[in-house]
Amino acid sequence: MPPKVDLKKCDGCKGENEPLCVSICPGDLLFLNEESVRAVCRSPRDCWDCMSCVKACPQGAIETKLPYQLGYYPAKLIPLMGGKRVSWTCIGQDGKVERFTYKNRN
C-alpha cells in the first residue's frame, strides 16, 4: 500500500534542507506539494513498502500498510542494491516469487 501522509502531523520538515522522507525514498516517489507544504507520493503504485519514509519522518506522519501477501511466514521482501538500481525479490506467503527493479535517484 502506498504511504499515507497525515496532513495534520506533517510540517513539511521545516528547518531541513530537504524533507527527510523525500531524501530517503529510494524510488524518488515523494515530493513536497508547494501549496500545502506537505509530502505527497507522486506514484503510489510504484511504492514497494520499504518503510524508509515511515522510519525517517520525525513527526510520525507517514503510515503504510503491508499487502497481505507479505503478512505471514514465509513471506519475504529482499532488497539488492547494485549500481544505479535496486532490485527487490518478493516471496509471497504462497511461495510465489516476483522480482522488481527500479532506478535509484542518483
Binding region for ligand SF4 (CB under 6 A): 3, 5, 10-13, 19-21, 24-25, 27, 29-30, 39, 41, 47-53, 56-57, 59, 61-62, 64
Question: Shortest distance, CB of residue 93 to ligand SF4, whole angstroms?
Answer: 20
- Which of 48, 50, 54, 59 is catalytic? The answer is 48
Cα separations in angstroms, 5 against 32, 55, 57: 11, 13, 10
Closest CA to 43 of 62, 27, 61, 54: 27
Question: Shortest distance, CB of residue 8 to ligand SF4, whole angstroms?
Answer: 11
Active site residue 48: yes
Calpha distance 70→98 (Å, rounded): 12
Calpha distance 25→30 (Å, rounded): 7
Based on CB atoms, which residue is closest to ligand SF4, 6 or 91? 6
Based on CB atoms, which residue is closest to ligand SF4, 8 or 95? 8
